[in-house]
């Protein structure tokens, strides 16, 4: 069993739809990252959170430490949001990554 699991693995949506990507983890963590990876490999950090909720533009990330679960929401999705979204947890000095959720948003 992976220490960090994401669902769904693949997600397609129509432009404008509300998107939710889930992440569950089984190890102790000091923080959780949501990352965005575009084709070609570039990774961008979207959020780092250790409790509660953060919002940046159309992106919202929440974490429930007791349930070991985090969600990434995208409101009013757009084709440019198409990418792989990766959840990663900080365990001691290293990040443990999920396998990612591939999102495709169609116009």
Partner 1 sequence: GAGVSQSPRYKVAKRGQDVALRCDPISGHVSLFWYQQALGQGPEFLTYFQNEAQLDKSGLPSDRFFAERPEGSVSTLKIQRTQQEDSAVYLCASSPGTSLLSTDTQYFGPGTRLTVL
Residue 13-52 contact track with partner 1, rule CB under 8 A, x = bound: -----------------xx-x-x----xxxxxx--x-x--
- Using the structure block, give the residue that is written with the tokens 């929440």: 62
Query: How far is Cα of residue 105 from the mean position of the Cα atoms in its chain?
Result: 16
Least distance to partner 1 from the beta carbon of 89, Å?
11
User: Of 60 and 95, which has the nearer Cβ to partner 1?
Assistant: 95
Helix (H, G, I), strand (E, B) or coil at 6: strand
Q: Are 53 and 61 in contact (CB under 8 A)?
A: yes
100 binds partner 1 (CB under 8 A): yes
65 binds partner 1 (CB under 8 A): no
**CA-based R_g, the chain, Å:** 13
Q: Are 104 and 46 in contact (CB under 8 A)?
A: no
Judged by the rule CB under 8 A, the positions of this chain that interact with partner 1 are: 4, 30-31, 33, 35, 40-45, 48, 50, 86, 88, 90, 92-100
């Amino acid at each position: 069993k992976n220490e960090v699991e994401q669902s769904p693995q693949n997600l397609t949506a129509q432009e404008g739809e509300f998107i939710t990507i889930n992440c569950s983890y089984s190890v102790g963590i000091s923080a959780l990252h949501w990352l965005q990876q575009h084709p070609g490999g570039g990774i961008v950090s979207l959020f780092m959170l250790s409790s509660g909720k953060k919002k940046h533009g159309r992106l919202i990330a929440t974490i429930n430490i007791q349930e070991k679960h985090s969600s990434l929401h995208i409101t009013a999705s757009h084709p440019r949001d198409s990418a792989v979204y990766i959840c990663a947890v900080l365990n001691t000095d290293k990040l443990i990554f999920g396998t990612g959720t591939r999102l495709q948003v169609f116009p």
